[in-house]
Chains A and B, each alone.
Chain A
Amino acid sequence: MNTVNFNDLLKKDFILLDGGMGTMLQKSGLKLGEIPETLNITRPEVVADVHRSYIDSGAQIIATNTFGANSYKMKNSGYTVDELISAAVKNARTACKEKALVALDIGPVGQLLEPAGSLTFDDAYELFKEEIIAGKDADVIFFETFTDLLELKAGVLAAKENSNKPVVASMTFEENGRTFSGVSVASAAITLEGLGVSALGVNCSLGPDELAPIVKEFTIRTSLPVFVKPNAGLPDPNSNTYNVSPLDFAKSMGKIIDFGSVKLIGGCCGTTPEYISALKKVIDTKKFKKAEAKKDTAVCSATTTVEINQPRIIGERINPTGKKLFKQALLNNDIDYILSQAISQVNAGADILDVNVGLPEIDEKEMMVKVIKSLQSVVDVPLQIDSTKPDVIDAALRIYNGKPIINSVNGEEKSLNSVLPLVKKYGASVIGLTLDENGIPKTAEGRFLIAKRIVERANALGIPSKDVYIDCLTLTVSAEQSACRDTLNALRRVKTELGCKTCLGVSNISFGLPNRPLINHIFLTMALEEGLDLPIINPNDELMTGSVRAYKVLANIDKNSTEFIKTYNEVKTETPKITSSHTTLSDAIINGLKGEASSLTEKALESKDAMEIVNGELIPALDKVGAYFESGKIFLPQLIQSANTAQSCFDVIKAHLTKTDSSPVSKGEIILATVKGDIHDIGKNIVKVLLDNYGYTVIDLGRDVAPEVIIETAVKKNIKLIGLSALMTTTLKSMEETIALAKKTPELQNPDGSSKCIFFVGGAVLTADYAEKIGADYYCKDAKESVDTAKKVFGNK
C-alpha cells in the first residue's frame, strides 16, 4: 500500500491524473470488437506499459483498465468480473511502484435504467457492488462518463456501502450543458455532493474549450474539488483522431483551472502521455484557489434545480387525507390517477411536489417506491417525500433521482434519531416540524426553541442549517385566534435568528370558518411577508398560486414582472368551441367535444335515469365511433378522443350517482399488462383508455410485468379477464409464460378443470395463429377488438 493516500493528495494544489486508456490500447494493436478489459489478463504488460507512460509524464493517480468491467458487459468475455478487475488493479499497482495511486475505474453499465430502459436500480447497484468488491485493492474509486444521475447514484451508494474508499464521480455532458438523459450540471453537482463524494466533475464529452462553460457551472454549484478530464478536442468521425494538440490542450486547461476549485485534472479520449506532460508544465505554474460557490439551498430532480432563494410552491395534492378518489386510486393501484394529479399541479405552477401515499390498507413502502419511480418518469419538478416511517423514507431516498426534501422530522428524540441520519446519508433537505413529545408549544418562543434543537442536531450530523426547512405549524384560527400570530412570530425568528428556510401548510388556518379560501389567501400573504419560503398549498387553487405570483412582483423578486406577465398574458389557445344548440350528445362524442358533451350529460341527467343515458346514448355513440374506426373513416387518435369525451360524460354520471347514493357502475374488472421484458406499452395504454370508457374497471399493472405479478393479482382480486401486450418477437415468450403460469395455478382453475382466467392478447408482431398456439383465448388486432372481447366475456350489461 502507498504511504500517501488520496486525502493527502487532496490537500495539494492539484492532482494530475492520466489520459486516455482506449486510445493507447488501440495504438498497441487492440482489434475491432476485442474487449479492452480482457487485455488485463491476456496482455498485462501492454496495460502496465500504458500506466507507466502516464506515471512518467507526471500522473499522480492512474485509473485501472476496467471502464466496462461489469458482469453485463463482460458476459461474453470469457472472464469473471473478479478476474478482470483484480488483474487490472495488479497491473496498475505494478506500474505504480508507489509513485502514484491506483483508482478503480468504473463506467456505466451499458444498459439504460428504468424508466428509459428496463434495468432496475437494484440490479445496477449489484453490478457496481461486484466491481467494487473485486477492486478492493485500489486506493480510490472513480466513476466516469455517466449520463444517468440515478445510475451514478447506484454506483456511489454501492461504493459507500461496500468499501471505505474515497469516491470521485464524473459525468459526461453535451454542449448544451446536459447529459444524454437530460441531467443538468447543477443537479449533478447538488446530488453528488449530497451523497458525500470527495470530488466531482466532468470527463469525456468534448474538448477543453467546449467544456469550459460546463466546468464553470460546476465550480459555481459545488464547494467540493472539481474533476476535469476532457477529450483531445472533437473526433473526426472517419479517422477517429482528435483535433487539439497537447500544447493547446494544456493551454485551454490552464484557463479552466483559473475558474477556481478545479483540482483533479487529466485527459480522456484521444489524450496521450504527451498531453499529460504538457498539462504538468501548466499546473506547475499555478496555485489552487477556491471558486465562489452559490450559498443558497437548492433541491433538484435530475433535470431541474429549484433554488430556495424566493417563495417556491410545494403542491400538496398527492395525499390521500380527506380525498376519496385518491384513496380509491391507491387501493386500486391506479398510478395514472396519481400521475395526472402531479401533472395538473405542475401545470398550475407547483415548483415542488409533496408525495404522501400513506394508507393503512396498503404497503406504504412498496407504493411510495412505485409512485416516486413513476413520477420521475413524467414530471421534472423535485419531489418531497412525505412519510413518518423511516423505512419508507429510506426506500424512497434510495431510488430518488436528485436531491429531495424529506417531510419530516420533529423535535422528538425518536424522530431526530431515525430521520436525520437518513437525511445526511442521502444528502437530502428536511422539513423540521416545531413539535415534540409534549406536543405543539403554544408560544412562538417554544416553537423557536424546538426549531433550534432540530437545527443543532442536524448540524451535529453534518447537515448544514440551510438544508433544514422549519415548519412553525399552522393552527386553526377558529379554535384559537391568537395562534396565527404565534406561528408567524416563530417563523420570523427562525428565519432571522437560525438562518433557516421556512415552510408552512396553509389551509389548516381556516378550518371551521365560512369562506375558507379568503382566510387562506390572506394568511398566505401575511406569511410570505414574514418570510415564508415554501408554502405547501393546492396549486390548482388559482387564488393561492396567484397570490404567490403577485407577492413576488410586489416584493421585487419577480424582476420586471416577467414571470407574472408571462403567466397572465398568455392567450390560451384552445380549439374554438363549436356551440351549436343542435349538437346532440352522440354528435359531441363522435366529434370529441369534451366540454359540450359533459354539459349535455348534465342536462340529460335532469330528465333521464343515469343508466338510460349510458346504455341509450353513450355506449351507442362509442359503438358508432368504433364502427367508423373499423371501416377506416376515422383514425386512432380520433377514436381515443371520442373515448375520452365519453369518459368525461361517465365522470359526470359517476359524480351524480355518488350524490344520489347509487353505487357506481362497473361492468367488470380487467387486468392489463405489457409483459416482462417489454417496455413498449403505448398499445396497452390505448386499450386501457377504451376499456375505461366503456365502463370496465381496468387494473393496469404497467409494463415489463413479471408473470408472477400478473397471476398473483388475478388470484387476489379474483379476475376473470386478463389482457397482455407485447410488441417484439423477443418478448412474446413472456406472454406464453404468463398464460402457462395461469394454467398451472390451482386457484385459477374451475372444479371441472377449465381455467377461470380468460386471456386476450395483442401486439404488432402477434398473429391469431400464434395467439392460439400460446393458449390465449382471444387475439385482438386493435383496441376496438379488445372492447368487443370484453363485451363477449362479461355480456352486454
Chain B
Amino acid sequence: MIKLTEINRAEALRYMGGSKVKMNDSMESLIEVCEKEILENISPKYLYKKISLENSGLIVGNSVKKHLKGCDEAFLICATTGAKTDKLIRSASVTDMAKAVVLDAMASAAVEQICNKIDEIIAKETPGKYLTFRFSPGYGDYPLEIQEKFLSILDAPRKIGLCTTDNSLLTPTKSVTAIMGISDFPLEKQRRGCVICNLNKTCKFRKTGEHCEL
C-alpha cells in the first residue's frame, strides 16, 4: 500500500504555469484546500511485474529499444490515483475552474509521486541489479497503443480498475504505465530529457528555461 501524506507542491505549481510566480493570499489558501481534498480523495493503486523481454512484443520502435539496450528483463509498471480524483476535478470544473486547475495539477503530481515510490519498492526488491528509469508509452516513438498490452499483462482492469479507451487513453485519467529495464551491469547515465519528449516543440517549461524534470 502506498499512502501519500503530502503533495509535491513545487511540482504541482510547475504544472500550473511556473514556480517563479508570486502568489496572492487567495491562491495560497486555494492550494491549501486543494492539497487536502486530493489527499482525502486519492486511493493510490499500482501493479508491477517482472517480465522477460524476449518475444514479449513490447519492444516497438527505436526509442524503447535504445532505452532497454542490454536488458533481458524488465518491470512493467502501472499506477493510478483512482476513479474519485476524476470526479473531484470534473465537479470543480463546473463550480470553480481555478480550483479544478489546481486539483488537476495536484493529481498529476500525486501520480508521479506514487511512481517514485514504486521505483523505491522495486529497487529494494532487485538488489545487485541496475534499473533504467521509467519509460512510458508516448515517449519518443513508443506508441500509446502499447498501453493496452501493458494493462492486459498486469491484469490491471480487474486488479486495480485501470483501463484504456479505444484511443489508448488511460482511465482513470490520472494514471501512468511504464517499463523499467533490468540490467546486470551498470547503465550509462540516462536522463529522460527533452529529446525523447513529444512536447519539446511546445513545452512551456523549456520556454522559460525551466525543466519538467522528466
Interface residues of A (CB under 8 A from B): 32-33, 107-108, 110-112, 115-119, 145, 147, 172, 179-182, 204, 237-238, 336, 339-340, 343, 377-379, 575-576, 591-593, 629, 632-638, 640-641, 643-644, 677-680, 682, 685-686, 689, 727-731, 764-767, 781
Option from A119, A379, A641 in Cβ contact (under 8 Å) with B165:
A119
Taking the complex as formed, is B161 at the interface, i.e. its CB lies under 8 A from any CB of chain A?
yes
Q: How far is the CA of A531 from the CA of B17 in the complex (A)?
A: 56
For window 170-214 of B, CB contacts with A under 8 Å fall at 171-173, 198-199, 201-202, 204, 208
Determine which residue in A108, A111, A593, A727 has the highest number of CB atoms from chain B within 10 A of its CB, and name it: A111
Chain B residues whose C-beta falls within 8 Å of the C-beta of A343 in the assembled complex: 91, 94-95
On chain A, the residues within 8 Å of B208 by CB distance are 632
Cβ-defined partner of B202 (8 Å) among A32, A678, A781: A781
B165 touches A679 (CB 8 A): yes
Decide: A575 and B29 in contact? CB cutoff 8 A: yes
User: Which 5 interchain pairs have the tightest Cβ spacing?
Assistant: A180-B161, A635-B17, A677-B167, A640-B98, A117-B171
- In the assembly, what is the distance between CA of A118 and CA of B30, in Å? 31
| Residue from A336, A632, A781 in contact with B18 in the complex, judged by beta carbons closer than 8 Å | A632
- When C-beta atoms are compared, the residue in chain B nearest to A108 turns out to be B157
In the complex, what residues of B have CB within 8 A of residue A644's CB? 96-98
Residues B30 and A678 in contact, CB atoms below 8 Å apart: no
Contact B101 A640 (CB under 8 A): yes
Indicate if B60 sits at the interface (CB-CB under 8 A). no
**Does B158 sit at the interface, judged by CB under 8 A?**
yes
Residues on B with C-beta less than 8 A from A117 are: 163, 165, 171
Q: Does B66 contact A (CB under 8 A)?
A: no
The interface-forming segment of B2-10, B20-28, B109-117 is: B20-28
The residue of chain A having its C-beta at the shortest distance from the C-beta of B49 within the complex is: A237
Tell me whether B11 is interfacial, beta carbon within 8 Å. Answer: no
* A-B contacts, 5 listed (Cβ < 8 Å): A179-B161, A636-B16, A636-B101, A679-B173, A682-B100
Least CB distance, A634 to chain B, in whole angstroms: 6
With a CB–CB cut-off of 8 A, which chain B residues contact A677? 165-167, 169
A634, A635, A678, A689 pick with most chain B CB within 10 angstroms: A635
Q: Let me know if A730 and B167 touch, CB within 8 A.
A: yes
Candidate in A238, A638, A766 with the most chain B CB atoms within 10 angstroms: A638
- The one of B26, B48, B144, B204 in contact with A575, judged by C-beta atoms closer than 8 angstroms, is B26
With a cutoff of 8 Å between Cβ atoms, the chain B residues found around residue A634 in the complex are 21-22
Contact of B93 (CB < 8 Å), options: A119, A204, A685, A730? A685
Kindly report which residue of chain B lies nearest to residue A779, judged by CB atoms: B202
Residues of A near B83 (CB, < 8 A) are: 116, 180-182
Task: Please tell me if the beta carbons of A377 and B90 are within 8 angstroms of each other in the complex.
Answer: yes
Q: Shortest beta-carbon distance, B185 to chain A, in Å?
A: 24
**What interface size band does chain B fall in?**
35 or more
Q: Once bound together, how far apart are the Cα atoms of A679 and B84, in whole Å?
A: 16
Q: What A residues does B100 contact at CB under 8 A?
A: 682, 685
Closest to A235 in B: B159
Contact among A110, A172, A575, A731 for B25, CB-based, below 8 A: A575
Closest Cβ–Cβ distance, residue B90 to chain A (whole Å): 6
A54 to chain B, nearest CB (A): 21
Contact in complex: B94, A32 (CB < 8 Å): no
Roughly how many angstroms separate A727 CA and B144 CA in the complex, as a whole number? Answer: 13
Docked complex Cα distance between A110 and B158 (Å): 8
Residues of B within 8 A of A147 (CB): 161
A637 to B86, CA, bound (A): 18
CA–CA, A398 and B186, complex, Å: 58
Closest B residue to A578 using CB positions: B25
Give Cα distance in the complex from A490 to B23, angstroms.
61
Tell me the complex Cα distance, A649–B190, Å: 52
Selected contact of A576 from candidates B17, B25, B157, CB within 8 Å: B25
B163 touches A682 (CB 8 A): no
For B93, the chain A residues whose CB sits under 8 A away are 682, 685
From A107, A237, A643, A728, residue with most partner B Cβ within 10 Å:
A728
Residue numbers in B under 8 Å from A636 (CB-CB): 16-17, 101
Q: Specify which chain A residues have a CB less than 8 angstroms from the CB of B25 in the assembled complex.
A: 575-576
CB distance from A616 to the nearest CB of B (A): 25
Q: Chain B residue with minimal CB distance to A767?
A: B201
Which chain A positions have C-beta within 8 A of B102? 637
Q: Which residues of B contact A728 (CB under 8 A)?
A: 138, 144, 167-169
Cα A664 to Cα B12 with chains together (Å): 39
- In the complex, what residues of B have CB within 8 A of residue A377's CB? 87, 90
Q: Is B123 an interface residue (CB 8 A)?
A: no
Residue interface bits B43-78, CB-to-A below 8 A is 1, else 0:
001001001000011000000000000000000000
Say yes or no: B199 contacts A591, CB within 8 Å: no
A336 → chain B closest CB, angstroms: 5
Which chain B positions have C-beta within 8 A of A204? 158
- How far apart are the CA atoms of A377 and B89 in the complex, in Å? 10
- Please indicate the chain B residues that have their CB under 8 angstroms from the CB of A180 in the complex: 45, 82-83, 160-161
Considering the complex, give the chain A residue whose CB is closest to the CB of B153. Answer: A33
A597 to chain B, nearest CB (A): 12
A592 in contact with B26 (CB, 8 Å): yes
Give the nearest-CB partner of B91 in chain A.
Answer: A378
14 A-B pairs besides A643-B97, A767-B202 with CB distance below 8 A are: A111-B157, A111-B165, A111-B166, A111-B171, A115-B90, A145-B158, A378-B94, A635-B17, A635-B18, A637-B101, A644-B97, A729-B198, A730-B169, A781-B204
Instruction: Tell me how far the C-beta of A105 lies from the nearest C-beta in chain B, rounded to whole angstroms.
Output: 13
Minimum CB–CB distance from A334 to chain B (whole Å) comes to 11
Determine whether the beta carbon of B86 is less than 8 Å from that of A116.
Answer: yes
